[in-house]
C-alpha cells in the first residue's frame, strides 16, 4: 500500500509531464514547474521539485539540463508515451487513474 507522500509525488510527476507536453518546445525550468504545481495544489519547496525532476529523469520520462542556478526539464519520448498510455512508467500516475 502506498502512502500519501508517494501518491502525491506520483501525481505531481504526472502534472509535470502534462505541463511539459503543453509547452511549444517541451521545456520548462524548475521554478516555473514549481509554480505550476502550486496551481495544482501541490505546494512544495524547490528541493522537493528538483528531487521529483531527478526521479523522472532516472525513469527516462524527461531530460534535464543544468542551466546554472536552475534545472531545465524537457519531456522525453518515454514521457509522451506515458501520457498517451502507450507505456507505463512506475512512480508516475497514469492519466486514466485520475479519471476514476
Residue 86's contacts (CB-CB under 8 Å, 6 or more residues apart) are none
Residue 51 has pLDDT above 90, yes or no: yes
Coil, strand or helix: which one is 65?
strand
Structural domains in the chain plus CATH codes:
4-93 (1.10.10.10)
pTM tops 0.85, yes or no: yes
pLDDT category, 100, cuts 50, 70, 90? Answer: low
User: 17-28, pLDDT tens digit by residue?
Assistant: 999 999 999 999
Which residues pair with residue 72 across a beta bridge?
A: 29, 65
Give the residue-averaged pLDDT of 76-80. 97
Amino acid at each position: 500500500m502506498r502512502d500519501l507522500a508517494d501518491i502525491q509525488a506520483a501525481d505531481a510527476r504526472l502534472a509535470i509531464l502534462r505541463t511539459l507536453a503543453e509547452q511549444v518546445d517541451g521545456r520548462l525550468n524548475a521554478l516555473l514547474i514549481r509554480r505550476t504545481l502550486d496551481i495544482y495544489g501541490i505546494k512544495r519547496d524547490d528541493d522537493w521539485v528538483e528531487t521529483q525532476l531527478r526521479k523522472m529523469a532516472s525513469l527516462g520520462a524527461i531530460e534535464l539540463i543544468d542551466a546554472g542556478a536552475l534545472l531545465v526539464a524537457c519531456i522525453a519520448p518515454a514521457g509522451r508515451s506515458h501520457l498517451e498510455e502507450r507505456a507505463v512508467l512506475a512512480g508516475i500516475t497514469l492519466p486514466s487513474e485520475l479519471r476514476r
